[in-house]
Structure 1
Amino acid sequence: MNTLSPRRSRWLAVGLLALVLLLLVRILLLPLWQHWFGTADAIERLETRIEVYQRLIDALPQEQEHLQALQAATPVTEWLLDETTPALAAARLQQLLHSRAGQSGVQVVSTQILNTDASETVQPVAVQAHLRAELTALVGLLYQLESGQPLLFIDSITLLSNPRAQSRTRLARSTDTRPHQLDVRLNVTGYAAEGGTP
């Protein structure tokens, strides 16, 4: 076995000490350092989140006052059907459809009340209608229904060319200058306040 000179022994001891120190740094200090910086980042993110929540909490009373002012300035009742029960509201919706169709020059063939599911604060009321109309009159009716009061929505619409009008047009093509009649099926939905208007 070779014995090392004192100088080589010293260098070997210094090398082993450096290796032990590097392993100690790698095994203990580096993970501790990474954990410390990760925790610092998490703390910074949480502090930012707390600041955002604090600003929201501080702005809450002002936003509630703003909401109350908007609700007072815009009464909801004018947008709802003012009947007390869903059946009366559906009958009112049928009357509105008939009167607005008559004003627009649209023929109402039939109407049928549809069952709807109630929501929390308003009761949807729907009517299915079968109409006959020229395209320009139909556009006027749809505009009148969706832009007026109470608030009404066209949920679905189906347009079909009227086959009887087409066969008449083929027979008397030169004499008939009227536009084609369309068969229209649509669902109109309005809303009534739950248990009547407040």
Structure 2
Amino acid sequence: MRTLRPAESRALALVLLALVLAGLYVVLVQPLVAAYRDNRERIDELALRLAHSQRLAMEQPALEAEHARLLRSRPAGGYYLTSQSEALATAELQGYVKRLIESSGGGLVSIQLIPPSSADARRRIKAQVRMQGNMAVVRAVLHGLESGSPWLLVDDVDLMQGRVQGVRRTAATEGAGQLEVSFNLTGFMRGAGS
């Protein structure tokens, strides 16, 4: 083996020292820095969650007050149709729909009862409603049905422009922008366990 000159010996020593220092960094320092970075990110995430939780806690009294106000303003008629039999509940639903449509300036074309499915354990009354009116009337009727008491669900809404056959023309149903509207309406009866 050949002996190294002093300059080569110093260069080799510096290279070995650099390798040892790099190894120490990889083995000792880098894991500590990575752990510190991970912990810092976790602390930042938890600080955000804490700030969010504190905001929610500050909003809680206002939300509880709003909840209490909504409970106090619950409609006197409740959420269900008041009749105890299906026949009476159907008549109640039909009367309510007819009054609402006519008071809004629309024309009622028909209301047909949709028989309940045998798989439905809930006591619900479902009907298909056909009416006529302009857009303001339709909006007022749908808003009244969805936001009034008892709670009613409106679905399968079909809007068509034109005149429904068989409807007597009145001042309320005359004019431009008349719509023919068909929708399903569901109301619930109080069940035995309700």
Q: Tell me whether 37-46 or 182-191 shows the greater mean CA deviation.
A: 182-191
Which of structures 1 and 2 has the bigger CA Rg? 1
TM-score after normalising by structure 1 = 0.61
Corresponding residue for 2:2?
2
Structure 2 spans left out of the alignment, 5+ residues: 167-173
C-alpha deviation, 1:75, in angstroms: 1.6
What is the rounded CA distance, in whole Å, between the counterparts of 1:93 and 1:66 in structure 2?
Answer: 30
Corresponding residue for 1:17?
17
Corresponding residue for 2:107?
106
Corresponding residue for 2:37?
37
Larger relative helix fraction: 1
Output the amino acid matched with 2:158: I
What is the rounded CA distance, in whole Å, between the counterparts of 2:179 and 2:10 in structure 1?
Answer: 105
SS in 1 for 2:183: strand
C-alpha deviation, 1:93, in angstroms: 0.9
Output the amino acid matched with 2:65: E
Taking structure 1 as reference, are residues 183 and 105 closer, same or farther at Cα in structure 2, changes over 3 Å only?
A: closer
C-alpha deviation, 1:188, in angstroms: 4.1
Taking structure 1 as reference, are residues 145 and 27 closer, same or farther at Cα in structure 2, changes over 3 Å only?
A: same
Q: How many residues align?
A: 176
Output the amino acid matched with 1:94: Q
C-alpha deviation, 1:84, in angstroms: 4.2
Taking structure 1 as reference, are residues 145 and 57 closer, same or farther at Cα in structure 2, changes over 3 Å only?
A: same
Aligned-pair identity in percent equals: 23
Coordinate RMSD, CA, aligned: 4.2
What is the rounded CA distance, in whole Å, between the counterparts of 1:33 and 1:45 in structure 2?
Answer: 18
Tell me if the contact between 1:130 and 1:184 (Cα under 8 Å) persists in the aligned partners: yes
Output the amino acid matched with 1:17: L
Q: Tell me whether 55-64 or 87-96 shows the greater mean CA deviation.
A: 55-64
Structure 1 spans left out of the alignment, 5+ residues: 166-177
Question: How do residues 19-168 of structure 1 correspond to structure 2 at under 5 angstroms?
Answer: 19-72=19-72, 74-78=73-77, 80=79, 82-85=81-84, 87=86, 88-99=88-99, 106=107, 108-109=109-110, 111-115=112-116, 125-129=125-129, 140=137, 142-143=138-139, 145-148=141-144, 149-150=148-149, 152=152, 154-155=154-155, 156-157=157-158, 159=160
C-alpha deviation, 1:40, in angstroms: 1.4
Taking structure 1 as reference, are residues 144 and 57 closer, same or farther at Cα in structure 2, changes over 3 Å only?
A: closer
SS in 1 for 2:42: helix
C-alpha deviation, 1:110, in angstroms: 5.3
Tell me if the contact between 2:82 and 2:190 (Cα under 8 Å) persists in the aligned partners: no
Q: Deviations over 1:101-157 (max 9, x none)?
A: 6665736455224437578xxx754211456x6x55x974x3553244445554223
TM-score after normalising by structure 2 = 0.62
Tell me if the contact between 2:153 and 2:187 (Cα under 8 Å) persists in the aligned partners: no
